[in-house]
Amino acid sequence: MIKANNPDLKSWIEVEKRSDFPIQNIPFGIFRKNGTGPRAATRIGDTVVDLYALSKYKVLDGLGIHPEVFNKPVLNDFIALGKPTWQALRDRLSEIFEENNPIIRDNPGAKAEILYSIDLVKMQMPVSVGDYTDFYSSIEHATNVGIMFRDPANALLPNWKHIPVGYHGRSSSIVVSGTDIHRPKGQTKPNENEGPVFGPSKQVDFELEMAFITGKKTELGESVSTADAEDHIFGMVVFNDLSARDIQKWEYVPLGPFLSKNFGSVISPWIVTLDALEPFRTEGPVQEPAVLPYLQSEGKHNFDIKLDVFIQPEKQKEFQVCHSNFKYMYWNMAQQLAHQTINGCNINVGDMYGSGTISGPTPDSFGSMLEIAWKGTKPVKMPDSSERKFILDNDTIIMRGYSEKDGLRIGFGEVSTKILPAK
């Protein structure tokens, strides 16, 4: 077992019972506070640990990490040190903050320099994202979309069970939780028999996704096998891949989504390592027909991660519209990365790979308003008795993700974004 994952460990830092961030999590992020940062941090409970300040106390010596790696605006240089280094750092942090270790615990000066309440910091984009791919790997989501827009009898296109379908997206508009997004403007074609019109999208939607971030580069021409893929994955975030359905509908033939998908995609700020998620591995759905040999994977590559989506209208309480689970994914991350690289496409540290909308089998687990309100035919009744077919101006969309088993909870916190009126 990974030392830092020991469920019996307790920290001398206070952790509330339902916290996403017990000492067994040790995620990584980038924070800023007044004059301090941006710098690398981890989080225990509601306390942010400044890794650069911590390294000054020599407690991270011997790990092969130059302290300046933590004094950067993104984690890319740290991540590039490789999996054995991430693992060694998680283990070391776990020791330093374990309840019986006095080295920082009993040093009030050190604590004042190293620890901040989460309320006092602003979280930043944790990585510089070079390339971004978005997959389409939930069978329930792909089936729902196929039923709505094509043919209920042949909802999945013929390639879907053979290829982890995806497209190359745009990284410049991937932003961190708390970033508000203006409703996009664009071309739509609301009436069959009339020409296109230009204006604010009327069908802004969320896509409940998770994304993984790569931590090991490859050279052009190389491929990553499903067996090695997880060595290339640093960790995961919850991902709200905002979409403008009306723009998408008009623009996407024949080359796929374009401006309907790059006006803002939002991630949760803490990257949870695959190591921390180890206890929550689970089998994926049976793949039938069998996939080609380069896509076959041994063992459990799926993860049981509960995912909730809430809409919070201006000055009102949040209202839950979806509870789904990452485990519904038909294609796992190892298969996605193997497919991404099978043609020799090279990958870099900090690349991001979206899962695609994660829908479950029942209507309350659908991962987009498109499906929840079924193309606008089943509007969601909000507590103030207003209706939602899609997202309205000044609605805040909140997504949360966590795994829970045998009293251990490892979570991602939340990704929150408000949709502002069009500019």
Q: Which residues bind Mn ion (CB under 5 A)?
A: 134, 207, 241
Phi, psi of 112 (to 5 degrees): -65, -30
Cβ proximity of 196 and 250 under 8 Å: yes
Q: 306 burial class (0-12, 13-18, 19+ CB within 10 angstroms)?
A: middle
Cα–Cα distance for residue pair 14/23, rounded to 1 Å: 10
- Joined tokens for residue 141: 């989501």
Residue 96 or 321 with smaller CB distance to Mn ion:
321
| 3-state DSSP percent of the chain in helix, strand and coil, to 5 | 25, 30, 50
CB atoms closer than 10 angstroms to residue 417: 24
Of the candidates 113, 108, 3, the one whose C-alpha atom is nearest the C-alpha of residue 53 is 113
Kind of pairing between the strands at 174-176 and 265-267: parallel
- At 46 the three-state DSSP class reads coil
- Distance (Å) of CA 282 to CA 111, 232, 265, 298, 366: 39, 20, 28, 12, 21
In angstroms, give the least distance from the CB of 8 to Mn ion: 39
- At 199 the three-state DSSP class reads strand
Q: Which of 66, 141, 168, 232 is flagged as catalytic?
A: 141
In angstroms, give the least distance from the CB of 190 to Mn ion: 23
Type of residue numbered 65: I
Token match 């989506």: residue?
309
Contacts 24+ apart (CB under 8 A), 101-110: 101/12, 103/57, 103/59, 104/54, 104/57, 104/59, 105/12, 107/57, 110/57
Residue 38 or 257 with smaller CB distance to Mn ion:
257
In angstroms, give the least distance from the CB of 157 to Mn ion: 17
| 141 carries an active-site annotation | yes
User: Which sequence positions are flagged as catalytic?
Assistant: 141
